[in-house]
Chain A
């Protein structure tokens, strides 16, 4: 019974994370995975990056963005394993996917909140 009550919330977070990944992630990836490391654009100086990243508002937004994208990824990957790759250990797969997302969210909390 409890599973039924949790299910809509997970789907809601799945959708939220999907929208977030589609709109927020492309620019972050373009800048931090390509443009700055590969020198297409001069990387911003350390002091400025630090000020932006350690701003409480940035920390809050990033924590929410990361958490919801992790739930999205876990939920979708769970069904990819069930339906796509025909992995039938349902409980184990669910535990690994959501457990992984929970562990990474904890890591995000620790990393992001460190300067506070």
Chain B
């Protein structure tokens, strides 16, 4: 197959700094890298728990060191952005209906926050009991 000569206008690398909405879009997408970081962080925690009591306390000390706390603060801000934007986008991506009537967007968003609370309570109960 012959490739058709198509015209691609070169986008400047920092096109997303021109408008606030573009910037917010790229920040939202960048949350992905911080989610991957938290997976790695939790894996290190699980690994430490597997290695014994000393490793567990060493992990907690390491996690309290300034560099790690700073990184986690930044990552947590991105995680909050992810959670809020994800919940807000869900009613736009899903066409939920009860019978034939569409479920209002606000109800879908509220249901997700309720889910977040339930999951948080279960994790809290598991960790603390």
Contact = CB atoms under 8 A, between A and B. Distances in A.
The answer to whether A binds B is yes
Interface string A72-116: 111111011001111000000000000011001001100110110
Interface string B80-107: 1011001100100100000000000000
A27 B50 CA distance: 21
A80 B53 contact: no
Contacts of B13: 85-86
Chain B interface mostly helix, strand, loop or mixed? helix
B86 A19 contact: yes
Interface residues of B, number: 55
Interface of B: 11-13, 15-16, 25-26, 29-33, 35-36, 38-43, 45-47, 49-50, 53, 56-57, 60-61, 63-64, 69, 72, 75-76, 79-80, 82-83, 86-87, 90, 93, 112, 115-116, 119-120, 123-124, 126-129
Interface of A: 15, 17-19, 21-34, 36-39, 43-44, 46, 48-50, 52-54, 58, 62, 66, 69-70, 72-77, 79-80, 83-86, 100-101, 104, 107-108, 111-112, 114-115
